[in-house]
Amino acid sequence: MQNRKPAAAGYVLDQIAEHPSNWECKEKITDFIERYHVPCLYNVDTRAVTRMVRTQGVMKAVIVSAERSDDFIK
């Protein structure tokens, strides 16, 4: 049974697929993200992120829009 809402607080993606590649998928990822208001960062070299976490360990991170001030982020 699938969750009714996403468990992830945000997504970091290499790219956003125009069309779902799994036959069981009922909607595009963009529609899913918008419906649940989940922050998404895309066009990211996810392999580089994986390498960084492996070498430096777990790090805190936040996904925010460019309009947010540094004080808001802290």
Summarize pLDDT for 21-64 with one digit per residue, the tens. Answer: 888 888 888 998 999 999 999 999 999 999 999 999 998 888 87
Q: List, in order of start, the domains of the chain with CATH numbers.
A: 11-73 (3.50.30.20)
Give the per-residue pLDDT at 26.
84
Residue 37 has phi, psi (to 5 degrees) of 55, 45
The whole-number average pLDDT for the span 12-16 is: 92
User: The whole model's pTM is what?
Assistant: 0.69
